Amino acid sequence: MYAIIETGGKQYRAEEGKVIRVEKLPAEKGETVKFDKVLMFNNGDEMQVGNPYLDNCSVEGKVVAVGRGKKITVFKFKRKKNYRRKQGHRQPYSEVMISLISS
């Protein structure tokens, strides 16, 4: 059984007992979060697809970690103009343990 949810402008496949890494949520470690934007639900026998979301379906999970991702380097450069800019970025994330998929 799994569900496709939308959060942070991205779509994720959520299964019970699995940990997914999503864009940072306004929740601390140990708090429970609820995802209402469920795009698709599949329980093995039947599949429900929303238009765009399913009304009777939700996914609940617990935040197990909050952190920042691996550093990436952003480098801007214009040739022959002595223009160089180097900048780093680390994207914040929340890791959520999916505990319940209700339909």
29-41, pLDDT tens digit by residue?
A: 999 999 999 999 9
* Helix H or strand E encompassing 98: strand 92-102
Rounded CA-CA distance 103/97 in Å is: 18
This prediction's pTM: 0.85
Tell me the pLDDT tens digit for each residue of 45-92.
Answer: 999 999 999 999 999 999 999 999 999 999 999 999 999 999 999 999
Judge whether 28 and 65 are in contact, CB under 8 Å.
no
* Burial tier of 70 (Cβ tally within 10 Å: 0-12, 13-18, 19+): exposed
- Name the residue ranges covered by the structural domains of the chain: 2-67+93-102
